[in-house]
Structure 1
Amino acid sequence: MTNYLFPLLTTVARYAKARFVQKTYHTEAAQEHFLLKLLQNHQDTELGRLYGLRDIKTINQFCDRVPILPYSSYEPYTNRIFQGEPNILTPDPVVYINLTSGSTGAKKLIPVTKRFQNSLKQANLASMGFLADALSNKKRKFGKLLLTNSVELLGRTPGGIEYGAASVGVLRMGKFLYEQIFTNPFETLLPNDSLVRHYICLLFALCNRNLRGVIANFPMLVLRICDYLERYGEELIIDLEKGTIANWLDLEPELISRLQSKLIANPLRAKELRHILNSEGRLTPKFIWPNLSFVATARGGTSDFYFERFPSYFGDTPVFGAVYSSAEATFSIYPDLDADGSILAIESGFFEFIPEDQWEAENPQTLLPTEVKVGEYYRLLVTNYSGFYRYDIGDVVEVVGFYNTAPLIVFRYRRGGILSATTEKTTEYHVTQVMEDLQKEFGVFLEDFCITLSENIVEPYYLVNIELRPGEKIDNPQSFIASFEVKLKEANMSYSVKRPNNFISPPRLRILAAGSFAIVRQRQLAKGVPDSQLKFPHISGDREFLAGLVVEREVMLPGDLN
């Protein structure tokens, strides 16, 4: 099957891409067709009857009659679906419930039907078509991939519906396809423990010298794969050489038996890897998989901060964004390697854009995809087969161009993710830009960072909390925090206006002990956030977010007397 699956899959994907590209010449018509077909399908659901979907015949009628709503307005309905009630938001049976991670807000229940899943699958196929063509243009090949996501379900609802992370549902429902395109067996994704799962995924992936791609939800998780590879290189080589699975891994005997039956001793490959380990001092993807074609992970938002560290692990291997998506929707499709702009997924949802001057309006006026302007920021609304209409997820995107008549968008930040000592509204995008520039200016790599607020709320100031990578140091930390001040003023005009007038006191730098952000992530995991869905916030208005961490040094600006 595998011998001809990739050419067949590539052919299907290129067809999906061509179909999608054709529709981008007629974005308005494609969007209208999607919406009216969806409304007809959903007209007799409980929410469909409430909004009179049967009588809506145009986009304007839809926008006039259906309100813009956040998740909280849908929660009573999703709770009933969780209990097993049918025909609430969708006419089709709910086959799975996506439970969002809750790492950037409250957890949400998103009903998944086969029709909803199929609508998103079209975007995934088109994305794969773009990837296949992009790789071909660069004389690179598509082939076996490494994925380390967990496939553990969180449970079953009282109505008998399986629920868990969105990626878990996708992998479980697409198990056959997974088994064909990924190099590590499906069973390697079963352990819940992150270290155990990554170890056995890497063990099987190391067997394949011709691995073509590494996939993870977020860049931080790609770096975690690299960290495990570096940390356990010697143990992995020993297991590969002998065809064994380390006995210190906490695995069920039955699973060990299943994995052992698929693992074959490979002393020649182990010898090659040991030579790399001895000569380079560590195992990294660029050396152990010389034919690696791409890394697939999320772009936009805070991704660029982590991409700064990619070359040391991946060399010049390109990064592909695949799709910009969430548990609720797929928003856009990436057309090329190393591209930040992605094409609005006009086959997978009906989209509206709220311009900045309407963000505080009680009934904001929206724009259609063909009406947006390059360089402007918008809140994104989606209507799709999940049963959510004009749903305000809170994402803010920038329009960076057009692909034919469809907008190219970049995710910038989550609207709720704003830091304000007064009313300056500093975003993750602002601080990420600043910290990227600071790393370059001072020639230093940070393990991670988070900007929080001082305990003093009368004369508040920013705390720039950083953890340095092992072996890194800042020779002049006072210059570092001074440069942070200058760059943040440039990035956020509101901060620039409020700082000199003493509405906000001077920022302070806090250098945290090694391992600090690993502790913070463990705290989030302990709250039930799946490790493959973990999104680490780089700003937090919670003054207790970093409580208990060891501060090795606190640095003030000259003249700061607070």
Structure 2
Amino acid sequence: MLPRMIPSFNPNDSECGMKLLEDLTTNAYEVQQQVLEEILSKNAQTEYLKGFLNGHHDKIDFKKKVPVVNYEDVKPYIERIANGEPSEIISAQKITELLTSSGTSGGQPKMMPSTVEDLDRKTFFYNLLVPVMNKYVDGLDQGKGMYLLFIKPEISTPSGMVARPVLTSYYKSSNFRNRPFNRFNIYTSPDATILCSDSKQSMYCQLLCGLVQRDEVLRVGAVFASAFLRAIKFLEDHWEELCSNIGSGLVSDWITDSSCRNAVSLVLSKPNPDLADLIRHEFSNKSLEGIVKRLWPRTKYIEVIVTGSMAQYIPTLEFYSGGLPLISTMYASSECYFGINFNPLSKPHDVAYTLLPNMAYFEFLPVEKRHEEVASREGVSGQECPKADEEETLETVDLMDVKLGHYYELVVTTFTGLYRYRVGDILMVTGFHNKAPQFRFMHRRNVVLSIDTDKTNEEDLLNAVTQAKLLLEPLGFLLIEYTSYADTSSIPGHYVLFWELKTKENNDMIELETSIMEQCCSTVEQSLDSVYRRCRRKDNSIGPLEIRIVKQGTFDALMDFSVSQGSSVNQYKTPRCIQSEEAIRILDSRVVGRFFSKSTPLWEPFRMETK
């Protein structure tokens, strides 16, 4: 008997949870057919599907007649709903909110439809993480998790519907606030601190509660590796004040959010000078190496996403961790929650996710990479982001038909109104759990730079650089070549652009005014999308953008290096993003000037287009 689409089970019953996962993965084909049948039968009369299937819900016709689409194809339908038209345009279920994705469209966040049932599906997904972790880590019911969770800004659309990031939606939902007791949802952070809209107050209060309850903490983490490292940096900057609060039993006056303040006061309860002295001692050491294990000695692991662009933070996390395992438990997005890591103690570079066949109907576009870009991680770009002329997409294949070692772009049909939608994630098949494939997340299609939730593609970067270089042209300077990389050596990380300039008079001596170059930095930032600007201005999760001016001939040296590594002279193109450490050293050795943005870019919650 096949499991229901959202089976009910007690997350404290690990045996029941593991059996459910075994049933889902053993019957992956049958569950996928059931998912597609349910989605099509319920939504056959929607305007979108009716336009292709004329009210029928045949699965074969669905594959033949409903096109594989990008966001721009479905954006008009979603905007109509945001502007007040009925949900039946795309979904038989009522669309209750729109989830803003960190991927962008025309500089604005994408919006994904969501329903009340979708929150239940996410809760089911989170509950399934419990038996998997209990299988590999003992005693998690004997303490708490110090998870640093934050909400992001939200808006109301013209119709009054709320639009907000997926995790903000979940944390503000009754599913999260009224969650039943289980060993995975006992946190050191009171809900009021998580739901505080002031990110600095939220961070301070969550860390304060985590330190006060240090003896109960068995696991620590955040959603993304970048967020956890920001917390470490915040600790480094504020440990003296935190110790003062712990020693006195009183919260700092600048914590003005009343709900936050009241919740933290209950946790503090009384002065604890011994704990304050212990924390001071740990920070009095010259090095913060192993600080996580030193502050929370019972901690068994750090739970953060370290796949995709977050992999750049692994060495820094390992430095601070004190040898704790780095665990990525799940693979999800604004469009849909996808899969679970069935081997959570695997090394970060070996993490693979098993897609749960009841979460959506999954298809895959085979992606053929030329020049063995993916096979080699040592190239100059190191980014493996295929351009339109460097990938060949074929007909989709189903979940059960993917092949070991092959690369695919994920396509989903969801319960919430997305049909054959290209997510933009490139995955590699690494194995199978029963009959369900396991995938390693490789990268986002066409994304070249990412520090936090930002995703800057090559076109966005080109447009931003084009705007900035206009400031130099009246002064007689020409931008000959440029590239970039995400510098995560400091916290927060920041974008670095390498520019090679020349004068129109071919003068080798280039003298640049600092104020002009700082203005160039600011112009690039202001020209990037709203997610980048929010991370810079509102979240403080990205540092000021930097432009490094290099000597003339530097990019010729970069090409020589690339050719020495096996690239063809005839086919060489300057990579717009560099990851090779040796290539970065070549560029850095020729830097003659460094300039930073001195202002934060303007940002406001994105505005809806009205018709």
Q: TM-score, normalised by structure 1?
A: 0.73
SS of equivalent residue, structure 1 residue 409: strand
Q: What is the aligned length?
A: 476
> Residue 23 of structure 1: SS of its match in structure 2?
helix
SS of 2:305's equivalent in the other structure is coil
**CA deviation digits over 1:211-251, x for unaligned, max 9?**
122232211111111111122111111101212122244x2
Superposition pairs for residues 479-494 of structure 1, below 5 Å?
A: none
Q: Is the 8 A contact 1:122 1:347 kept in 2?
A: no
> Partners in 2 of 1:39 and 1:490 — Cα distance?
54
The one of 280, 304, 321 equivalent to 2:328 is: 321
Aligned match of 2:453: none
Q: Provide the residue aligned with 1:497 in structure 2.
A: 568
Corresponding position of 2:223 = 217
Q: Distance in 2 between matches of 1:452 and 1:279?
A: 35
Q: Is the 8 A contact 1:124 1:322 kept in 2?
A: no
Q: Secondary structure at the match of 2:397?
A: coil
Deviation of 1:322 (Å): 1.9
Partner of 1:295: 302
**Aligned counterpart in structure 1 of residue 202 of structure 2, from 191, 197, 203:** 197
Give the match for residue 186 of structure 2: 181
- Cα distance in 1 for residues equivalent to 2:564 and 2:196: 46
Judge which range, 41-50 or 372-381, deviates more: 41-50
Could you report, residue by residue, the CA deviation over 1:394-446 in whole angstroms, capped at 9, with x for unpaired residues? 11111112222211111111112259999xxxxxxxxxxxx99x99xxxx999
Q: Distance in 1 between matches of 2:294 and 2:416?
A: 43
- Alignment check: 8 A CA contact 1:374 1:400 kept: yes
Which 10-residue stretch deviates more, 318-327 or 111-120? Answer: 111-120
3-state DSSP class of the match of 2:298?
coil
Amino acid at match of 2:296: W
**Which of 337, 341, 347 lines up with 2:352 in the alignment?**
341
Counterpart in 2 of 1:150?
150
Give the 3 Å change call, closer, same or farther, for CA 421–490 of structure 1 in structure 2. Answer: farther
Structure 2 segments unaligned to the other structure (5+ residues): 1-8, 370-387, 450-456, 460-484, 503-542, 544-553, 576-582, 607-611
How far residue 392 of structure 1 moved from its aligned partner, in angstroms, is 0.5
Query: Measured at CA, do residues 68 and 9 of structure 1 come closer, stay the same or move farther in structure 2, by a change above 3 Å?
Result: same
The aligned counterpart of 1:277 is: 283
1:61-97: CA deviation from partner (whole Å, max 9, x where unpaired): 3211110011111111111221233222222222222
Per the alignment, residue 125 of structure 2 pairs with 123
5 Å-filtered alignment, 1:250-265, equals 251-252=256-257, 255-257=260-262, 259-265=264-270
Give a deviation string over 1:24-46, Cα, whole Å, max 9, x none: 12322121111111111222222
In structure 1, the residue matched to 2:27 is 26
Matches within 5 A, 1:303-318: 303-318=310-325
- Cα distance change on mapping 1:490 and 1:70 into 2, 3 Å: farther
SS in 2 for 1:158: coil
Q: What is the distance in 2 between the residues matched to 1:186 and 1:57?
A: 45
Taking a change above 3 Å as real, the CA distance of residues 454 and 270 of structure 1, as seen in their structure-2 partners, is: closer
* Root-mean-square deviation over aligned CA pairs: 4.1
Q: Match for residue 379 of structure 1? A: 409
Shift in alpha-carbon separation, 1:502–1:164, aligned structure 2, 3 A: closer
Taking only the aligned residue pairs, the percentage that are identical comes to 23
Amino acid paired to 1:343: T
Per-residue deviation, 1:302:
2.4
**CA shift at 1:503, angstroms?**
5.2
Alignment of 1:49-448 (within 5 A): 49-52=50-53, 54-58=55-59, 60-86=60-86, 87-102=88-103, 106-136=108-138, 143-151=143-151, 153-173=153-173, 174-177=176-179, 181-209=186-214, 210-249=216-255, 251-252=256-257, 255-257=260-262, 259-265=264-270, 266-279=272-285, 284-339=291-346, 340-357=351-368, 364-418=394-448, 448=493
Separation of aligned partners in 2, 1:63 and 1:326 = 24
Matches within 5 A, 1:523-538: 523=600, 526=603
Change in Cα spacing, 1:277 to 1:525, as seen in structure 2 (3 Å) is: farther
Pick which of 116-125 and 358-367 moved more.
358-367
Is contact 1:94-1:113 (8 Å) kept?
A: yes
Cα distance in 1 between the residues matched to 2:558 and 2:405: 25
CA gap 1:103/1:338 in 2 versus in 1, 3 angstroms: farther
Conservation of the 8 A alpha-carbon contact between 2:104 and 2:110 = no
Partners in 2 of 1:205 and 1:133 — Cα distance? 25
Contact 1:333 1:342 in 2 (8 A): yes
**Is contact 2:98–2:113 with CA below 8 Å preserved after alignment?**
yes
Q: CA deviation at 1:349?
A: 0.9
Deviations 1:293-324 (A, max 9, x none): 22222232122220111122212222221211
Q: Is this contact kept in 1: 2:98–2:112, CA < 8 A? A: yes
AA aligned opposite 1:76: P
Query: Quick one: structure 1 residues 221 and 253, their matched pair in 2 at CA, closer, same or farther if it must change by over 3 Å?
Result: closer
Which of 505, 509, 512 pairs up with 2:587? 509
